[in-house]
Amino acid sequence: MENKLVISNSPHIQTPLTVKRIMLDVIIALSPAAIFSIYLFGLGAFIIITVSIISSVFFEWLLTKYFLKKPSTISDLSAVVTGLLLAMNVPSNLPIWMLLVGTFVAIGIGKISFGGLGQNIFNPAIMARVFMLISFPVAMTSWPIPLKDRMHYIDVHTGATPLGIIKEGVKNGETISHLMHQIPSNSQLFYGIMGGSLGEMAAILLILGGIYLLIRKVITWHIPVSILVTVALFTGILWLINPDKYANPLFHLLTGGLMLGSIFMATDYVTSPMTPKGQIIFGVSIGLLTVLIRVWGAYPEGVSFAILIMNAFVPLINRYTRPKVFGTNKKINKNG
Partner 1 sequence: MQLKTFPKGGVHPPEYKLTADKPLKILPVPKQLVIPIQQQLGRPGEILVKKKDKVKVGQLIVKATGFVSANIHSPVSGTVTKIDKVIDASGYKVDAIVIKVDDEQVWEENIDRSEDIKRDITLTSEQIIKKVEEMGIVGLGGATFPSHVKLSIPPGKKCELLIINGVECEPFLTSDHRLMLEKTEQILIGTKILMKALKVDKAVIGIEANKPDAIEKMLKFTENYPEISVQPLKVKYPQGGEKQLIKAITGREVPSGGLPIDVGVVVHNVGTTYAVYEAVQKNKPLFERVVTITGPSVKQPGNYIAKIGTPISALIEAAGGLPEDTAKIIAGGPMMGKALKNTDVPITKGTSGILILPRSMAYRREVQPCIRCARCVNACPQGLEPYLLMSVAQKQIWDIAEQHNVMDCIECGSCSYICPSSRPLLDYIRFGKRTVGAIIRERKQKSKK
Could you list the residues that contact partner 1 (CB under 8 A)? 1-2, 4-15, 17-19, 21-22, 73, 76, 78, 116-119, 269-270, 273-275, 322-329, 332-336
Residues in CB range of 240: below 8 A, 6 or more apart: none
CB count within 10 Å of CB 26 equals: 24
Judged by beta carbon, residue 96 or residue 274, the one nearer partner 1 is 274
- Residues 124 and 81 sit within 8 Å (Cβ to Cβ): no
Q: CB of 285: closest distance to partner 1 in angstroms?
A: 18
Q: Which residues contact 2 (CB under 8 A, 6 or more apart)?
A: none
Which residue number, 117 or 238, has a Cβ lying nearer to partner 1?
117
Shortest distance (Å) from residue 330 CB to partner 1: 9
Instruction: Show the DSSP H helices in 17-94 as ranges.
Output: 19-41, 43-63, 78-88
- Closer to partner 1 at the Cβ: 237 or 269? 269
Q: How far is the CB of 54 from partner 1 (least distance, A)?
A: 23
Shortest distance (Å) from residue 220 CB to partner 1: 9
C-beta neighbour count of 273 within 10 angstroms: 24
Query: Least separation, in Å, of the C-beta of 39 and partner 1?
Result: 32
Cβ proximity to partner 1, 65 vs 148, nearer residue: 65
| Residue 211 CB neighbours (<10 A) | 12
Q: Do 99 and 52 meet the contact criterion of CB atoms below 8 Å apart? A: yes
Query: Distance (Å, rounded) from C-alpha 149 to C-alpha 166?
Result: 25
By beta-carbon proximity to partner 1, the closer residue of 12 and 181 is 12
